[in-house]
Amino acid sequence: MPIYPSPDSDVVLVETPSELEKQIGVSRRAVTTTYLDAHSRVQSVISRWIGVEQAVESRVKSLVAPDEPLTPGILYVGVATLTGSVLARNRIFWRLTLPPTLLILSLNHFLPKTTHNVSSYLAELEEKHFPAFAEKHEIAKQHSAMTWYRAKDATQSGREKFSSGVAALVGRVEEATGLKLRETLGWRDRVVSGAEVKAREVVETAKESAATVKGVVNTKVEEAKVAVAQKPEEPRRLV
């Protein structure tokens, strides 16, 4: 036996988890990782959605005209569209054509500037993403405009022919009966006022032409004066 007492030995406790604790730890870490990954993905989706909302809001603000309030105008447009649906009832053709027609007409009437901005934006998108369709759409618009102008000219010419025919018929009736139908119907005043309007237009056109000619003459005179002033003097010859 030793004379001196031996020092106390350190007792080291080694933690030895069971197999169940190991499986629980692995499962907990996997669940935590999955949760953090899902949370980051949800946050990225929310950030993208917020960016889309801001882009849409800025685009809508740029399309809406500042001097056209939407509150009464959009209500009037909705009422006009619903009126078209009510008038169409169960007729398929009118139900498909009348509400969109009233929608477009009411938009152009109550919100003309906003409608113009929206149509321009849609035309830009169409030209950017669907150039072939945009070209066909532009051709169709030009043909529609030409058809409208032709119909308008034909209607105006038909009215003029009808008016001239009626006037000739009234003149013949006056010659045959001696009745003053033109004075009774007030056509003489209309003819005189029309002639006065034409005369005024001719006078205004003549005045504008005279002013234009006068301006051109004055310009030429000023250019000639400037050219004469800038021309160097010739040296005098001694005789």
Output the CA angle 88-91-95, nearest 5 degrees.
50
Lowest mean pLDDT among 45-49, 106-110, 150-154, 198-202: 198-202
Burial of 111 (0-12, 13-18, 19+ CB in 10 A): buried
Give the model's pLDDT for residue 50.
92
Lowest mean pLDDT among 48-52, 117-121, 152-156, 178-182: 178-182
Q: Which long-range contacts (CB under 8 A, 24 or more apart) does 102-108 make?
A: 103/77, 105/80, 106/76, 106/77, 106/80, 106/81, 107/77
Compute the mean pLDDT over every residue in the chain, rounded to the nearest whole number: 76
Give the model's pLDDT for residue 237.
47
Tell me the pLDDT tens digit for each residue of 25-55: 899 999 999 999 999 999 999 999 999 888 8
- Extract the tokens encoding 237: 């010859």
SS3 15: coil
Q: How far apart are CA 11 and CA 5, in angstroms?
A: 18
Tell me the pLDDT tens digit for each residue of 53-106: 888 888 888 888 888 888 888 888 888 888 888 887 777 888 888 888 888 888
Instruction: Give just the sign of the alpha carbon dihedral 144, 146, 147, 148.
Output: positive
Evaluate whether 87 touches 94 at the Cβ level (below 8 Å): yes
Residue 119 identity (one-letter amino acid): S
pLDDT at 238 over 50: no
Q: What does pTM read for this prediction?
A: 0.45
Tell me the pLDDT tens digit for each residue of 101-132: 888 888 888 888 888 888 888 888 878 887 88
Domain locations in the chain? 22-131, 145-185, 189-228
Give the model's pLDDT for residue 192.
44
DSSP letter at 174? Answer: H
Give the model's pLDDT for residue 230.
60
pLDDT at 159 over 70: yes
Instruction: Give just the sign of the alpha carbon dihedral 14, 17, 19, 23.
Output: negative
